[in-house]
Chain A
Amino acid sequence: MSEGDGETTGVVKKFLFVNRKAPYGTIYALEALEVVLISAAFDQDVSLAFLDDGVYQLVSANNPAGIGMKNFSHTYRALDDYDITKLYVERESLTERGVSEDAFIVPVTVVSRAEMGHIMAAQDVVLSF
């Protein structure tokens, strides 16, 4: 373990973390968030995509105390401190689920399904959760 200050001068690649799972039914969402935070130490060009049930991860009213789970919704608000600011949410996924982007805990860019496809196509590395 080392505590570098993150000042590296390697190659910068475009990384996309694809979030497609609801937050509490499985461990995927929490694991993705942890990997994203760790990846910030590598100074790469990181984007996050939220589509399908992944859009539920950002709902600010999430409150899992009653089912005995940690409320990691708050942690999305720390992404800005980690210089991760590109969060894309798919509009069609919101519409299908009756979710409003006003309900989100952090500012996001809402894009169409077609635009999401282009964002995916433009990456060097895609990690799916």
Chain B
Amino acid sequence: MLHTVNKSPFASSTLTQCLNHLAAGAAVLLIEDGVYGATAGTGAGAQIASCLKRFPVYVLGPDLEARGISSNQVVEGVVTVDYTGFVKLVVEHDAVQSWL
């Protein structure tokens, strides 16, 4: 299952709620304001780092760029994908759950 999160972790609990429901085979993709969660050195970044020990985490590059977040600010281990990568992730997983 691919889980997408599109809300800022500093404005809603959606990221935490998503991470609490990950099961075997899960992957997380941060999009839109969700990409703020990939910022290293923050509480959300620590949650992502911990999640990375069990599940892959991806972040959408154009959304990072829109928000002025450079790759060296992103938590190590998070993989940046473009729109094509987004589509590939959707195809690779049986289902997608959008955490809105």
- For the complex, give the distance between the alpha carbons of A52 and B63 in Å: 19
Known A-B contacts A97-B39, A98-B73; A60 and B10 likewise in contact (beta carbons under 8 Å): no
Interface residues of B in 63-83 (CB under 8 A from A): 63, 65-70, 73
Instruction: State which size class the interface on A falls in.
Output: 20 to 34
Known A-B contacts A21-B11, A66-B62, A98-B42; A53 and B67 likewise in contact (beta carbons under 8 Å): no
Known A-B contacts A22-B11, A98-B41; A63 and B66 likewise in contact (beta carbons under 8 Å): yes
Number of A-B contacts (CB under 8 A): 65
- Check if B25 is an interface residue, CB within 8 A of chain A: no
- For the complex, give the distance between the alpha carbons of A65 and B66 in Å: 7
Most buried by B among A23, A63, A97: A97
- For the complex, give the distance between the alpha carbons of A65 and B65 in Å: 9
- For the complex, give the distance between the alpha carbons of A85 and B70 in Å: 29
- For the complex, give the distance between the alpha carbons of A104 and B10 in Å: 19
Interface residues of A in 63-101 (CB under 8 A from B): 63-67, 69, 96-98
A63 to chain B, nearest CB (A): 5
A67 adjacent to B66 (CB under 8 Å): yes
B97 to chain A, nearest CB (A): 19
- Check if A39 is an interface residue, CB within 8 A of chain B: no
- Check if A24 is an interface residue, CB within 8 A of chain B: yes
B36 adjacent to A96 (CB under 8 Å): no
- Check if B7 is an interface residue, CB within 8 A of chain A: yes
Binding site for B on A (CB under 8 A): 20-26, 52-53, 56, 59-67, 69, 96-98, 103
